[in-house]
Chains A and B, each alone.
Chain A
Amino acid sequence: MKTRDILRVFDKLEMEVREGRDTLAFFRWEGQTILWTKVPHKRGELKGKLPHFIRQQLRLNEDQFRAVIDCTIWRKEYVEILCSKGLLPPDEEPD
């Protein structure tokens, strides 16, 4: 998996990206900060277990993570996943 694949994931999930030592990405929903992750600036293949840790921070299983990369999960579906895990504020859950 490459750094640009992760950057595209941030884009697809409409995460707020901030540059620092790494590229930081925050997932916000209805004005609330829900979760965060980061990816190195370094271009090219992500080393070793980094993709695993990023996936964990995004609270996705391997199939879901693959689906985001393959463009079958977008922000709407991601919100449903987070909602099913109780990670979104109760009052703001979608119908």
Chain B
Amino acid sequence: MSQTVSAEVQNADTQTDVELRQIRDELRQLTTLLTRASSRRPILLYSLRHPHLRLAGPLSVALEYDEEQVIACAPDLDLFGYGDTENEALDDLRCTVADLYYTLKQERGSLGPMSARVWDYLDHVIVEAES
């Protein structure tokens, strides 16, 4: 009788250990997800601050932070900018967007599948100022 009780207690202990390990693993995964989420901030960009180009609509941008810099990423355009501060990263991204706009405009007759899609979007969202 006492042997049976002892075996049951041992089984319960083992079960508790397994469950505790699972909880610990889940907490670790949650911590990783929370860390990732807190290092990424979505914003909308309303201007390219360019003398000849303006945005017809806002660009979706994600600001990502690491220990050393800020990266501004525009997933719809497959572009990023970087800098020591948010403003520097956004300014770098603005310049990169303008640069890509002129590059793809010049090459619009010879674009691959992905670059053609990006050009379609750029052409839709960027308006050239009349000189």
Contact = CB atoms under 8 A, between A and B. Distances in A.
Interface of A: 20-22, 24, 26, 29, 31-36, 38, 40, 47-50, 53, 57, 86-89
Contact of A33 (B68, B96, B110): B110
Contact of B80 (A29, A53, A88): A53
A5 B32 CA distance: 29
B78 to A, nearest CB: 6
Given A32-B115, A48-B71, 10 more contacts: A21-B99, A26-B103, A32-B110, A33-B104, A34-B115, A36-B78, A47-B82, A49-B66, A53-B80, A87-B113
Contacts of B107: 33
Contacts of A33: 103-104, 107, 110-112, 115
Contacts of B104: 33
Contacts of B122: none
A57 B96 CA distance: 14
Contacts of B53: none
26 contacts: A20-B99, A21-B95, A21-B99, A22-B96, A26-B103, A29-B112, A32-B110, A32-B112, A33-B103, A33-B107, A33-B110, A34-B112, A34-B114, A35-B114, A36-B78, A36-B100, A47-B68, A47-B69, A49-B64, A50-B82, A53-B71, A53-B80, A57-B78, A87-B112, A87-B113, A89-B112
Contact of B112 (A22, A35, A47): A35
Interface residues of B, number: 24
Nearest to A40: B82
Contacts of A26: 103
